Amino acid sequence: MKKKKKLRNGLMARKLVTVTDTKSLISEQFRTIRTNIRFSLPNQEIKSILITSSIPGEGKSTNAANLGVVFAQEGKRVIIIDADMRKPTLHHTFSTLNICGLSDVLSKQEEYFNAIQKTTVEGLSVIPSGPLPPNPVELLSSKTMDILMEDLKKDYDIIIFDAPPLLSVSDAQILSNKCDGTLLIVSMDKVQRVEVLKAKATLASSNAKILGVVLNNIKIPKKHYYQAYGS
């Protein structure tokens, strides 16, 4: 049991660079994304943000977690919801339980406040996926989902949804229409251009407000960064 606990903590340390190394270049990039989100829709308050990708393995969950951290570090009340009720990972990232979560709330088996768990980051809470349901699409498109979002907006400044990839299932497409804005994570070393264009078209068909694209896994030499800053 002790070995498993150590492994879980190590996983969190590797993923949440915004917690373990707040002064790093990567942490600064997440703060830049936070700032750019504000400017993306200047005439609209952005409270609910969907994080998704074109295909699996592009780093959407890691980006969702770190983005939630930097918003909380700014003093915001933040909650991250694991809306991937097929392959959830949020409970691993924050070392929380996944006994009760989103699926329980949307199926009306539990009140939403009973599914909320605090993290070690001040101001940041999470709702894990809960037990894997047979009908994620129906749950996400339900009236109960709309009510949940309205309830959470009363208690939190920022609501972040970690959703499945767009080209795998329609879950993210449904949520994108409900959220104030969507961030598309694009891994430079994994996804093809045609897949990104198809994902963008999928979001457009849902009338989603695309806040922007986050390019992941880009190798930038540290020397290049400081030269650009100095000039």
The pLDDT confidence band at residue 10, using thresholds 50, 70 and 90, is very low
What is the model's pLDDT at position 231? 31
The residues with which 124 forms a beta bridge, in sequence order, are 78
Inter-residue contact 216 to 30 (CB < 8 Å): no
The pLDDT confidence band at residue 11, using thresholds 50, 70 and 90, is very low
Per residue in 136-191, pLDDT (tens digit) is: 999 999 999 999 999 999 999 999 999 999 999 999 999 999 999 999 999 988 99
- Fill in the DSSP letter of residue 133: P
CATH number for the domain including 160? 3.40.50.300
> At 122, which amino acid appears?
E
Q: Is the pLDDT of residue 228 over 50?
A: no
CA distance 21 to 27: 7
The pLDDT confidence band at residue 220, using thresholds 50, 70 and 90, is low
- Count of C-beta atoms within a 10 Å radius of residue 68: 33
Containing 176, the helix (H) or strand (E) segment is helix 171-178
**Residue 204 domain boundaries:** 2-230
SS3 229: helix
Inter-residue contact 145 to 174 (CB < 8 Å): no
Please name which of 20, 11, 4, 27 lies closest in space to residue 121, comparing C-alpha atoms: 20
SS3 71: helix
How many Å is the Cα radius of gyration of the chain?
17
Number of domains in the chain: 1
Task: Locate 52 and state its tokens.
Answer: 């998704």
